Structure 1
């Protein structure tokens, strides 16, 4: 649940900051009459994200075991690539996000009445789609039984929902100037955490493809600590739920984990060290834009 909570919190806070910037700019420039278009775009983005999540969850059912493994493994690997791009994009582009969104609003306000709706859908929808995809991949990895059949559980979804709810509350507080968050540190720590989570999802995606016989080495184990680490114990549950740790890990899974986490973490930490320090906010009313800019 912790991993899904943090995923929901991080992605939800990104979306909340985007909405905060959009709303704050319209209010500051005395264009409150355009706010309903922003909220319509946000609602549409949420609906599309929920529909995408439903398709991912219920779409593969009824297929053969091999087809399910191929779809599950491929989407897990795709989700890892997507979230990796998101982590580096946020680290690189966050400082200019506020100005970019303001420019889009100015252009959309002079266009058709649907232009602002499209701006909100694109700005928020990207976060929603990548959240749905990554949560699905992480949930599949965390809820599959030893038999290879996915057992439904509300625990990962509950964790993600709590994270999203926390992000919405924080977004409202940031907008009102009631709370300030060091977003640089927040996205740095959560980015590093998500890299480790993504490595586990990648390893599980490889395992899916091995079970579907699309990759070799299913029984070629790198290590097996099943007798030492009980997956049903509290610590086994944490390791599995947060990091997708498998007591019996194949050599190909271990190789995928190491070949992902070592270079990606090194590049991420290097990018963080090179990132200039953001200037302090000028006033509480500018806090949303300054924090995300």
Structure 2
């Protein structure tokens, strides 16, 4: 359940960083009539992700024996590579975690563009949650669903705390902590994925975890240390 909480919290926080400021922004400039398009986009994105989840779960349930093991193993390795991509490639770009919509996007105040932005944002982040939790949702359905709900609530509470009070949270610190957790999770998935192809071999699982986690953790911490040093030099 802890995996579901952390993954959902991270992805939902990324959703809310875009969606909540967008809703507040159109209200602030007296264009509340556009909020319905944002909410419609949220609904479309959420519905699309649910349909995708049902399709993927049904596809897994239709497989049996070796085919199912290969599919699950391949999915675990794919998720581990997805985590690697997010951390190494996307992380090289300074991710804009500002809550100021005008500084993040060239916001076009048209219903269609707002609907599309909201729908794509919700669907993209929801699909990542689905992919991350796909290998475990069948075996631990109730704990996974509870973890998802807890993650959504925690992310929403943090965003509301930022807007409704004088609390100032460094979102970069939050994402750094979550990323370290995801590195170890990626290593675990990579090792388990290898085990699906070479069953009953614990040394393969442990080797996969170490080969994945140690270099990635080193690169990530090295990059974060350089960013920290540059930030302090500028001060």
Larger Rg: 1
Same fold by TM-score greater than 0.5 = yes
Measure how far apart 1:100 and its partner are.
6.4
Aligned partner (choices 154, 157, 163) of residue 175 of structure 1: 163
Q: Is the 8 A contact 1:5 1:163 kept in 2?
A: yes
Once residues 96 and 104 of structure 2 are traced to their aligned partners in structure 1, the CA distance between those partners, rounded to angstroms, is 12
Once residues 69 and 262 of structure 1 are traced to their aligned partners in structure 2, the CA distance between those partners, rounded to angstroms, is 26
Report the TM-score when normalising by structure 2: 0.85
Q: Is the 8 A contact 2:4 2:148 kept in 1?
A: yes
Aligned partner (choices 127, 130, 154) of residue 129 of structure 1: 127
Compared with structure 1, are the counterparts of its residues 46 and 96 closer, same or farther at alpha carbon in structure 2 (3 Å cutoff)?
same
SS at match of 1:114: helix
Measure how far apart 1:201 and its partner are.
1.1
Aligned to 1:12: 12
Once residues 18 and 48 of structure 1 are traced to their aligned partners in structure 2, the CA distance between those partners, rounded to angstroms, is 19
Aligned to 2:174: 186
Q: Note the alpha carbon deviations across 1:95-148, whole angstroms, 9 max, x for none.
A: 266556431x22xx25xx4221111112222111111110223x26xxxxxxxx
Aligned to 1:86: 86
SS at match of 2:93: helix
Gap runs ≥5 in structure 1 = 141-149, 211-217, 222-248, 279-293
Aligned to 1:282: none
Aligned partner (choices 208, 214, 224) of residue 262 of structure 1: 214
- Superposed counterparts of 1:65-144, under 5 Å: 65-88=65-88, 89=90, 92-95=93-96, 98=101, 101-103=104-106, 105-106=107-108, 109-110=109-110, 113-137=111-135, 139=136
Gap runs ≥5 in structure 2 = none
Count residues with an aligned counterpart: 227
Measure how far apart 1:2 and its partner are.
1.9
Compared with structure 1, are the counterparts of its residues 161 and 277 closer, same or farther at alpha carbon in structure 2 (3 Å cutoff)?
farther
Compared with structure 1, are the counterparts of its residues 99 and 255 closer, same or farther at alpha carbon in structure 2 (3 Å cutoff)?
farther
Aligned to 1:58: 58
Once residues 103 and 76 of structure 2 are traced to their aligned partners in structure 1, the CA distance between those partners, rounded to angstroms, is 31
Compared with structure 1, are the counterparts of its residues 96 and 16 closer, same or farther at alpha carbon in structure 2 (3 Å cutoff)?
closer
Compared with structure 1, are the counterparts of its residues 75 and 203 closer, same or farther at alpha carbon in structure 2 (3 Å cutoff)?
same
In the alignment, structure 1 residue 272 sits paired with structure 2 residue 230: no
Compared with structure 1, are the counterparts of its residues 166 and 67 closer, same or farther at alpha carbon in structure 2 (3 Å cutoff)?
same
Report the TM-score when normalising by structure 1: 0.69
Once residues 81 and 182 of structure 2 are traced to their aligned partners in structure 1, the CA distance between those partners, rounded to angstroms, is 12
Compared with structure 1, are the counterparts of its residues 58 and 12 closer, same or farther at alpha carbon in structure 2 (3 Å cutoff)?
same
Q: Is the 8 A contact 2:190 2:208 kept in 1?
A: yes
Measure how far apart 1:154 and its partner are.
0.8
Once residues 186 and 258 of structure 1 are traced to their aligned partners in structure 2, the CA distance between those partners, rounded to angstroms, is 25
Indicate the structure with greater helix content.
Answer: 2
Kindly report the root-mean-square deviation, in angstroms, between the aligned alpha carbons of the 2 structures: 2.4
Aligned to 2:146: 158
Measure how far apart 1:58 and its partner are.
2.3
